[in-house]
A and B are shown apart, each in its own frame.
Chain A
Amino acid sequence: MSTVTSRRGASHDAPSARPPSASRRRRSLGRPQLFAAWALTIPFLIVFAAMFLVPLGYAGYLSTFTSQLVGGQVFSGLANYARALEDPSFWAGLGRVALFLFVQVPIMLVIALVIALALDTGRVAGSKFVRLAIFVPYAVPGVVATLMWGYLYGRESGLIAQMISSVGLTPPDLLSPQNVLGSTMNIVSWEFIGYNMIVLYAALRSVPTDMYEAAEIDGAGPFRVAWSIKIPAIRSAILLTVIFSVIGSFQLFNEPNLLYSIAPNAIGSDFTPNLYAYNVAFRNQDVNYAAAIAFLLGFFIMVISYVVQLATSRKERLS
């Protein structure tokens, strides 16, 4: 064992450098510390309240009124919520993002994980460049990304269509009503694979390497190491990317909103719940109903995120 560790250098001391045990931090804070804690967090709390809680509360308040172009605003309790629950446009959008979630998120996260694992082996040539190249799309604003992809998707002049027709095939219309969801998935994957890859890669770098050495000595190959050690070790980072992706899917807005200007009939005004809320607020001029839709969507996201978390933490306890 000693020869293996010495080759790995710095990791030699890893076990003794572990953080102090949790019980030592349980001590209650003294008065000066308490004061400092409040002084340091209050600026955040003020901004948080002003920029987040107050608008949220106000939107919640608005959602309990019904406004009409003729007649103005009247209190209507939960009528807007009842209306949303019976609104086929709301459900259609929710169904679409659910489909998006079940198809796009696994593909995106598996690709991100595979790349992160490959980079972590240290066997990828030019790994710094690869890492940067995959991450760069995340740095491109979503607006620019969608406009760029919209151009590539173009049926007559788009690069993809031209490549397909140059080999004698008929290019599909990537912006048709049937294909536009898939085209959106592609844009979102392109944007966020790099982001998720970096999160997972960073988690992998913090796994103590002595575990790999032990596995190597036991005769495990790189795939076995990845499957049995690395992936379980970064479970919490994977869970984080899953939760972010679930929330991101439900809140899909930028991409369809921009594609709307290129393919308005394929996207429609209710492609995703957020796009629908936006259109209800600013085209239909019904802010109250839009607020109710936004709240209902927030509720769905909360429930689903909770279910995902619960499911994974139960698995953890069982194993």
Chain B
Amino acid sequence: MALVSVAVVTAVALSACAPSNGGTDAGQTTAPVSQAEIDEAMDTETTITFWTWVPDIQKEVDLFEAKYPKITVDVVNVGTGTAQYPKLRTALKAGKGAPDVAQIEYQYIPSFRQTNSLVDLTPYGGAELEDSYVEWVWNQVADDAGVWSVPQDSGPLGNLYRSDIYAQAGITEAPATWDDFAEDAKTIKEKTDSYISNLPGNDPGQIVGLFWQAGAKPFSYDGDKTVGIDLDSAETQKVVSFWQDLIDQDLVSTDADFNDAWYQGFASGKYASWQTAAWGPVFLQGTAADTSGKWTAAKIPQWNAGEDVSGNWGGSSNAVITGTKNPIVAAEFSKFLNTDPESTLAFANEQFLFPTTTDTLSSPDFIGTESEFYGGQKVNELFAGVSDTVSTDFQWLPFNDYVYSSFNDTLGKAIADHGDMSAALTAWQDAVTAYAKQQGFTVE
């Protein structure tokens, strides 16, 4: 403990040692790369480093190495998501030690773009991938200025519910609208003592997904110096006041998610449903194995009856990192991993990453699967349909670490403490705006 202060100071010192990155590193180009150059690069002995936290990804990497025997991919797991990014940033600032390819979640792409840390894949045939992907997913990685990453998986929102608890409360159908959801919440609490759902205060991803579904556009970034911050809007306030009402009536619990107590909540029937992403069904299967056969997957409730819109929670991509000495190999690797039919199907069916290519989303080998945990329902098919209903132009701010950590101190805290969520949403807006201004951005 006594050395921590020194350690912090040292780490601070190290991370700021090197000059910041420009986009001018050797080996990178803005002119299109010819097929001959690609062929030559792929036939030269090369080793590239790939930072990722996806379990068992070696399986897909092996497919790539089998096709290109002269290329070796060094797979390194330096931590999941928010644990990896500071390390990546430190390596980038130090000017060495950064990987050639890295796993990056969609919400962090602008953050790494802002520091010129991502190679524009346009000269490497990146733009040609557009037609392979679902539109909203493509917009997460590309804009007018370039293609910044290759999509791997996504998380369109649906609703997983315990059909046995619903039946016990006399409800036969999943709520079609949020109004139905609120009514069901009362009935379920009265008749079964279960909470209809849990809203965690530690997980900005879920509530931002719900904002997305409600049509909010809380963030925008022009790729340069201008950001838009609209966290405190009519749409977000609508979402927040809806949940506040349910929390105040003790119809929704507010436990932190992804910890033991929360897992047990699913196993014990404390929560009757989970408004979650397309990766949720398989996750739940592992977490609440004893409740197999009792779950049903449905679409997310709608704000207006008759509509069919969803949001997204999670998903990530593979980006080529600035400073790589082998941009062609790195780009070809990212493209192969996430577009080769065998590789993408393996991701979908074996690692349960929810697919993003239109081919895999319509492949009978994927959507035809019947899931026992959901009473034989074709869950993949349902979520593949949901993927088409996600609004297409959702953006992120170029400093997502701060956006998420300040959530925990404001809106997240209000959720956890059953405080005033509306005021906390305003406080979140203010904190993010103050940070943006202090960091020199023009706030629109």
On chain B, the residues within 8 Å of A56 by CB distance are 6, 9
Give B207 Cβ to nearest chain A Cβ, in Å: 13
B226 → A minimal CB distance (Å): 10
The docked-state distance in angstroms from the alpha carbon of A290 to that of B261 is 35
Chain A residue with the shortest CB-CB distance to B415: A265
- Starting from the known contacts A52-B6, A70-B440, 16 additional A-B residue pairs (CB-CB under 8 Å) come to A55-B10, A62-B12, A154-B261, A156-B261, A247-B2, A268-B408, A268-B409, A269-B408, A274-B8, A283-B86, A284-B401, A285-B402, A290-B12, A291-B12, A294-B9, A301-B5
Digit string of B255-268 for contact with A (CB within 8 Å is 1, else 0)?
A: 01001110011000
CB of A274 within 8 A of CB of B402, answer no
| B36 contacts chain A at the CB level, 8 A cutoff | no
Nearest CB of chain A from residue B84's CB, rounded to whole Å: 12
Which residues of chain A come closer than 8 Å to B398, judged between CB atoms? 69
Give the chain B neighbours of A72 by CB distance below 8 A.
Answer: 20
The answer to whether B399 has its CB under 8 Å from any CB of chain A is: yes
A294 touches B2 (CB 8 A): no
Please tell me if A227 contacts chain B, counting CB pairs below 8 Å.
no
* Neighbour of B6 across the interface among A55, A177, A287, A290, CB < 8 A: A55
How far in angstroms is the closest Cβ of chain A from B223? 12
Looking at the complex, which of A13-21, A249-257, A306-314 is the stretch in contact with chain B? A249-257
Selected A-B contacts with CB under 8 Å, 21 pairs:
A55-B10, A68-B439, A70-B440, A70-B441, A154-B260, A156-B260, A157-B264, A251-B1, A254-B4, A265-B408, A268-B409, A269-B405, A269-B406, A270-B409, A274-B5, A281-B11, A283-B401, A283-B405, A284-B401, A284-B405, A294-B5
On chain A, the residues within 8 Å of B401 by CB distance are 282-285
Kindly list chain B residues whose C-beta atoms are within 8 Å of the C-beta of A269: 405-406, 408-409
Nearest-neighbor residue (CB-CB) of B400 within chain A: A283
Q: Give the most central of B12, B417, B435: most A CB within 10 Å.
A: B12
Task: Knowing A274-B5, A285-B401, A287-B15 are in contact, say whether A265-B417 is a contact too (CB < 8 A).
Answer: yes
Q: Which residues of B contact A (CB under 8 A)?
A: 1-2, 4-6, 8-16, 20, 86, 89, 114-115, 201-202, 225, 256, 259-261, 264-265, 398-399, 401-402, 405-406, 408-409, 412-413, 415-417, 435, 438-441
- Given contacts A177-B417, A265-B412, A265-B416, are A281 and B5 in contact (CB under 8 A)? no
Is the pair A248, B1 in contact by a Cβ cutoff of 8 Å? yes
Q: Which of A118-148 contact B (CB under 8 A)?
A: 142
Does A291 lie within 8 Å of B9, measured CB to CB? yes
| Contact of A294 with B408 at beta-carbon distance under 8 Å, contacts A248-B1, A282-B86 already known | no
Chain B residues lying within 8 Å of A70, measured Cβ to Cβ, are 225, 439-441
Cβ-closest chain A residue relative to B82: A283
Is B114's CB under 8 angstroms from A274's CB?
no
Contact partner of B2 (CB less than 8 A), chosen from A155, A248, A295, is A248
B256 to A290, Cβ gap below 8 A? Answer: no
**Which residues of chain A have C-beta atoms less than 8 A from B1's C-beta?**
142, 248, 251-254
Report whether over half of chain A's contact residues are helix, strand or loop; otherwise say mixed: helix
Query: What 3 pairs between A and B have smallest CB-CB spacing?
Result: A70-B440, A68-B440, A265-B416
Tell me, yes or no, whether A59 is within 8 Å of chain B by CB. Answer: yes
Question: A59-B13, A157-B264, A269-B408 are contacts. A69–B4 as well, Cβ < 8 Å?
Answer: no
Q: Evaluate whether A62 and B16 lie within 8 angstroms (CB atoms) in the complex, with A156-B264, A269-B408, A269-B409 already known.
A: yes
Give chain A's interface residue range (CB within 8 Å of chain B).
35 or more
Within 8 A of B (CB), among A266-319: 266, 268-270, 274, 277-279, 281-285, 287-288, 290-291, 294-295, 297-298, 301
Which residues of A sit under 8 angstroms from B9, Cβ to Cβ? 55-56, 59, 291, 294-295
How many interface contacts (CB-CB < 8 Å) are there between A and B?
Answer: 133
**CB-nearest residue of chain B relative to A254?**
B1
Query: In the complex, are the beta carbons of B8 and A268 less than 8 A apart?
Result: no
Complex Cα spacing A282 to B256, Å: 23
A264 contacts partner chain B, Cβ-Cβ < 8 Å = yes
Using Cβ atoms and an 8 Å threshold, which residues of chain B touch A102? none
CB of B353 to closest CB in A, whole Å: 23
Residues of chain B within 8 A (CB-CB) of A297 are 5
Out of A68, A251, A298, name the residue touching B438 (CB < 8 Å): A68
**CB-nearest residue of chain B relative to A61?**
B13
CB-based contact B13/A156 at 8 Å: no
Closest to B263 in A: A157
Given the complex of chains A and B, what is the CA–CA distance between A278 and B401 in angstroms? 13
In the bound complex, residues from chain A placing their C-beta under 8 Å from that of B14 are 55
> Taking the nearest CB of chain A, how far is it from the CB of B307, in angstroms?
33
Chain A, residue nearest B409 (CB)? A268
Complex Cα spacing A177 to B416, Å: 10
Inter-chain contacts of A294 with B (CB < 8 A): 5, 8-9, 12
B13 touches A69 (CB 8 A): no
- Residue A262 contacts which of B5, B225, B259, B412 (CB distance < 8 angstroms)? B259
* Known A-B contacts A254-B1, A274-B4; A284 and B402 likewise in contact (beta carbons under 8 Å): yes
A244 in complex: contacting residue of B2, B259, B438, CB < 8 Å: B2
Nearest neighbor of A51 in chain B, beta-carbon distance: B10
Q: For residue B406, which residues in chain A have a CB less than 8 angstroms away from its CB?
A: 269
Complex alpha-carbon distance, A199 and B4, angstroms: 22
The distance in angstroms between the C-alpha atoms of A129 and B250, with both chains bound, is: 50
A155 contacts across to B, CB distance below 8 A: 261
Q: Is the CB of B435 within 8 A of A284?
A: yes
Which residues does chain B contribute within 8 Å of A264, judged by CB atoms?
201-202, 256, 408, 412
Complex Cα distance, B401 from A298, in Å, reads: 27
> Across the interface, which residues of B come within 8 angstroms of A52, CB to CB?
6
Within the complex, the shortest CB–CB distance from B46 to chain A, in Å, comes to 32
Provide the bound-state CA to CA distance between A290 and B265, in Å. Answer: 39
Query: Within the complex, what minimum Cβ distance (angstroms) separates A90 from chain B?
Result: 14
A residues in contact with B412, CB < 8 Å: 264-265
CA distance A268 to B408 in the complex (A): 7
Contact of A287 among B16, B435, B440 (CB under 8 A): B16
Whether A263 is near chain B, meaning CB under 8 Å from some CB there, is yes
Task: Give min CB distance, A270 to chain B, whole Å.
Answer: 8
A285 to B117 alpha-carbon distance, docked (Å): 15
Across the interface, which residues of B come within 8 angstroms of A288, CB to CB? 16
Given that A69-B399, A264-B412 are known contacts, is A253 also in contact with B259, CB under 8 Å in the complex? Answer: no
**A279 in contact with B202 given A262-B259, A268-B413, A274-B5 (CB within 8 Å):** no
Flag if B4 contacts A253 (CB, 8 Å): yes
A151 within 8 A of B: yes
What separation, in Å, do the CA atoms of A249 and B315 have in the docked complex? 40
